[in-house]
Amino acid sequence: MTQRSRTLSVAVIGAGKMGADHVRRIDEVISGARVAAVADVDAERAKAVAARVDGCTAHTDPAAAMAAADVDAVLIASPGPAHEAALLTALEHDLPVLCEKPLTPDPASALRVMAAEQRLGRRRVQVGFMRRYDAEYLKLKALLETGQLGRPLMLHNRHRNVASPPGWTSEMLINDSVTHEMDVTRWLLGHEITAVTVLAPTPSGNAPDGIRDPQFVVFETDGGAIVDVEIFVNCGFGYQVQAEVVCERGTARVGDGHAMVTNAAGRWGGIIAQDYIERFTDAYDRQVQSWVDATRRGEVTGPGVWDGYAVAAVCEASVRALEDGGRVPVDLVDRPALYA
Ligand code: ISE
């Protein structure tokens, strides 16, 4: 490819909340890339989002967007069940991809994507595990890597959303939200997750009927660490994502959100973000810029298909643990050489 010197022309698949935000980001924030095409099953939505960018074409079929003039990379932000088909089309055309999480909704489909990438013989897909690009998580990872605190023993996570979107189910707390902590665990600690237990208190009175919210998810890892995740998606007061690592010689915590503390009228305090686009704007920007830069160099530097597959396997085990109770082991296939 001769992309190093030229602007990357990106097809964005999915023009919902994340897709539209990525179109804005590529258009206004990112250097070295432009949005050439947008696809969405809703033709009007595709047209409305494409109309914000000069020269951008609108489509309802992802394959047509990928085949549009000049397109040389794909950003997939459609709902999870549509990812496999879009990924396989992109890989068929040897197009580099940034795919929002989940890679695919289950391990079997993730393995099909893995097989297609292996047939190409080189990594082409980055998965949107954007916690890895957040400034605080990056500092935490760098600190752990110095070894100053000793070996990580436990990781405590809190993940709270103001309210669950319409149509949410108990499984979505795991598949849509805890999925991030699965990746954070694997990336921060460098361990694979080997077993999952999910506990749930009597649901909050603010949870929609039938949704088990909050949940308390516990991972065991192959490095001997224990990880817990409080997931609470109808907490009502704000969007909070926190992580604290407990090591042999100290602890380190991120996500307290103390960017500014005010003192006034006999009180002190700060502001809590209300959603992930607000809380993680910088991380999304850094993720997409890093993907564009790597793609123009012909490289993939971020989390990939192996990470997407491993997380899908942990999700599957977690949903079983939620439904059946008890401890559910996670079984992974052997890691192919391409992902060593
Ligand atoms: C959403 O899809 C995200 O990816 C957010 O990062 C997460 O915090 C939220 O719970 C999910 O619904």
Residues 195-224: pLDDT tens digits?
999 999 999 999 999 999 999 999 999 999
148 contacts 221 by C-beta, under 8 angstroms: no
Q: Where are the domains of the chain?
A: 8-131+282-303, 132-279+312-339
Atom number in ligand 1 closest to CA 239 = 8
Cα separation, 222 vs 109, whole angstroms: 24
DSSP bridge pairs for 195 = 220, 329
Res. 104 pLDDT band, cuts 50 70 90? very high
What are the tokens at 311?
A: 């997380």
Say which DSSP state 31 is in: S
Atom number in ligand 1 closest to CA 177 = 10
27 contacts 34 by C-beta, under 8 angstroms: yes
Cα separation, 161 vs 235, whole angstroms: 6
What are the tokens at 282?
A: 């910088």
- Tell the residue nearest (CA) to atom 3 of ligand 1: 177
Among 83, 176, 217, 281, the mutation site with the greatest number of ligand 1 atoms within 8 A of its Cβ is 176
Cα separation, 42 vs 299, whole angstroms: 33
Instruction: Give the pLDDT confidence score for residue 1 in this predicted structure.
Output: 45
Residue 235 pLDDT > 50, yes or no? yes
Give the pTM. 0.96
User: Which strands make up the sheet holding 57-59, listed edge to edge?
Assistant: 57-59, 33-39, 8-13, 73-76, 97-100, 125-128
Instruction: Provide residues with CB under 6 Å of ligand 1.
Output: 161, 176-177, 180, 276
- The per-residue pLDDT for range 62-82, each reduced to its tens digit, is 999 999 989 999 999 999 999
Among 83, 177, 239, 272, the mutation site with the greatest number of ligand 1 atoms within 8 A of its Cβ is 177
206 contacts 236 by C-beta, under 8 angstroms: yes
Atom number in ligand 1 closest to CA 172 = 12
Fold held by 132-279+312-339: Dihydrodipicolinate Reductase; domain 2 (3.30.360)
Mean pLDDT of 87-94: 97
Domain 8-131+282-303 class, CATH top level: alpha beta
Atom number in ligand 1 closest to CA 101 = 4
